[in-house]
Amino acid sequence: MRFRSDVDNFKSVNDTYGHPQMDVVLKQVARVVRKSSMMPTPRRAMGVRRWP
């Protein structure tokens, strides 16, 4: 599954705070999207996880 998004004011934040800080922001955005897209399942609720 692929996901595409537009981060508001990306260029201005990147220009103001630099690439390292923007990397932190993008990782936080990715974490929020990943966490919000996880569907609750009975197995996950019981703490059952898959091993990779």
Give the pLDDT score at 39: 62
Paired tokens of 2: 């692929």
Contact 33, 7 (CB under 8 A): no
Q: Is the pLDDT of residue 52 over 80?
A: no
Give the pLDDT score at 49: 58
The full DSSP string for 11-29 is HHHHHHH-HHHHHHHHHHH
Q: How far, in Å, CA of 24 to CA of 9, rounded? A: 15
Instruction: Report the SS3 class of residue 5.
Output: coil
* C-alpha 43, offset from chain centre: 23
Give the pLDDT score at 51: 57
Tens digit of pLDDT for each residue in 3-43? 677 777 888 888 999 989 888 988 888 888 877 777 666 66
